[in-house]
Amino acid sequence: MTDIEIPSAPVISNRSAHLALLVASGAAFMSFLDLSVVNIAFPAITRDYPHTAPTTLTWVVSGYAVAFAALLTPAGQLADALGRGRVFLTALAGFALTSLLCALAPGADWLIAGRFLQGGTAAFLIPAGLGLVLGVTPPERLGVAMAAWTAAGGFAATVGPAVGGALVDWFGWRSVFVINVPIAAALLAAGLRLARGEQRHPHGLPDLIGTAATGLGIGAVVAAVTQGQQWGWGDPRTVSTGLGGLALLAVALWRSRSHPRPAIAVGLWRSRSYAQVNAVAFVFGAAMFAWLLAGPLWLDSMWRYSVLKSAAAMTVGAIASMVTAVAAGRAPVAWQRWLGVLGALMFAASTLYMSTGVWDATPALWKAWVPAGILGGGGIGLLITVLGTTAARSLPPQRFAAGVGMNLTARQSGGALGVAVLAAVFAARPDRPLTAFHTLFAVCAVIAVAAAVLAVLPVRTQELTA
């Protein structure tokens, strides 16, 4: 995402500014909701495609994350060049169409392809929508606008399990994609006036080579981890795919250092505190995404919960996350770092507990699930909020949108890798699911501790200027 110039006064009326915030927040809610409802629907998807390898089906989750991460920065640049309103409305229509493609997918390959496309359109929704809000909001109202936009994503995570569970139970897993169509249509109707008379900033197209290298690089690394157990870790296919992905990412980073419109906003990393925030987001994202997908799988395969019962159980962590996020947002600045460390350690304690013998095939909602959900969800709320606020404080106001985008890119990239780790662990223990779950939760605990260590490392303050 590019730097967004924020005028000293609203470009258009306050009514239009409120409309922009409403529509952009609605789009953020929809795109983040899609992440949580698909996790709830994943066990049902695997049952509908019994002849497709589980490792392949994990691309239903990680494909969205890979496309989202790869396209987020260039999407912001393209929105500046072509007009944020136009790009935003086009992305809304694209999100609706790709959601319909997922809903109508005749096979797993079509569903995975649809999820890649859906993640790509979501990547355009976020920066274009946020750019619209920042471009028409008075400077003194920026904090309120950003809080409302962020809250929309948090609320989506909270209600996602309940919404997803109800839809899957009543109408089947395809309904979690169909529901996006009327929501997107309503947002389109409300936002049509946003594209009229807007200013463009035609600084040129983003780095297409760097963008392709980023997407293919992340995808190749994720593919190597996902298929490594099946192919063999020393197999030439695994080694070449992994090394090729790393090489492509190196090319993307190299080009991004000097390109005027880079695929990866590496210029923001000159702020060491901001670079640290993104490193923590990447590492913790791997554990968080794996945990969020493993939860519905555990409830379905180990405890044989119904979809609605699973959704109710998942809501425990989601509510805990919302509560601690609000608390972290109101905490003094001096406490922020340590609250983030506490959040990572709470999550590590939760996943370590889940790797013990207390968690077995006998359902234990109050003894096992609820304590782990409160600890894990509460830890996520603390750390994610701290990462967001720290990232914002590390950047000047005109770079907020770029900073939010890069932070989301880091988290989604780590998340895609985390889902790949989940697939590899289960592929290694196909006949011992309890052992696979315990191993995965132990790995998540180690990753969360690594995130805590990264968060506590001191950095010399070096803030960016405009």
Write out the DSSP string of 29-51: HHHHHHHHHHHHHHHHHHHH-TT
At which residue do the structure tokens 């994609």 appear?
Answer: 177
pLDDT computed for residue 369 by the predictor: 96
Whether residue 38 contacts residue 64, with contact meaning beta carbons closer than 8 Å, is answered with: yes
d(CA 119, CA 168): 21
* Spatial contact of 379 and 345, defined as CB atoms under 8 Å apart: yes
Residue-by-residue pLDDT tens, the chain, 466 positions: 444 444 444 444 567 677 888 888 888 888 888 877 898 999 999 999 998 988 899 999 989 988 988 888 888 778 777 778 888 899 999 999 999 999 999 999 999 999 999 999 998 888 888 777 777 777 666 666 766 777 777 777 778 888 888 999 999 999 999 999 999 999 998 888 766 656 555 566 778 898 899 989 999 999 999 888 778 888 899 999 999 999 999 999 999 888 888 888 888 888 788 889 999 999 999 999 999 999 999 999 999 999 999 999 999 998 998 888 888 878 887 888 899 999 999 999 999 999 999 999 999 999 999 999 999 999 998 998 888 778 767 776 666 666 777 888 888 899 999 999 999 999 888 889 999 999 999 999 999 999 999 999 876 655 554 4
Residue type, 272: R
Q: Cα(466)–Cα(463) distance, rounded to whole angstroms?
A: 10
Give the per-residue pLDDT at 10.
42
Q: Which of 220, 231, 176 is nearest to 428 (CA)?
A: 231
Write the secondary structure of 258-299 as one string of H (helix), E (strand) and C (coil). Answer: HCCCCCCCHHHHHCHHHHHHHHHHHHHHHHHHHHHHHHHHHH
**Structure confidence at residue 224 (pLDDT):** 92
The DSSP element (H or E) to which 233 belongs, if any, is none
* Residue 301 · residue 310 · CB < 8 Å: no
Q: Left, alpha or beta for 214 (phi > 0: left; psi -120 to 50: alpha)?
A: alpha
pLDDT at residue number 460: 61
Q: Are 214 and 70 in contact (CB under 8 A)?
A: yes
Task: Annotate 104-113 with b (16+ C-beta within 10 A) or e (fewer).
Answer: ebeebeebbb
Angle at CA 459, nearest 5°, toward 455 and 461?
A: 125
Instruction: Copy the structure tokens of residue 113.
Output: 């392809």
Q: Which CATH class is domain 271-466?
A: mainly alpha
120 in Cβ contact with 71 (< 8 Å): yes
Supply the pLDDT for residue 18: 79
- Dig out the tokens for 126 from the structure: 């976020």
Q: What are 198's two structure tokens?
A: 């807007």
pLDDT for 454: 94
Q: What does the alpha-carbon distance between residue 201 and residue 128 come to, in Å, rounded to a whole number?
A: 13
Q: How many CB atoms lie within 10 A of CB 301?
A: 16
Distance (Å, whole) CA 261 – CA 91? 21
Give the predicted TM-score (pTM) of the model. Answer: 0.86
d(CA 245, CA 221): 5
Distance, CA of 353 to CA of 82 (rounded, Å):
50
Residue-wise pLDDT for 13-42, tens only, equals 567 677 888 888 888 888 888 877 898 999
Phi, psi at 99, each rounded to 5°? -65, -40
pLDDT of the residue at 81: 76
Distance CA 120, CA 412 (A): 12
Q: Does domain 1-205 have CATH number 3.10.20.30?
A: no
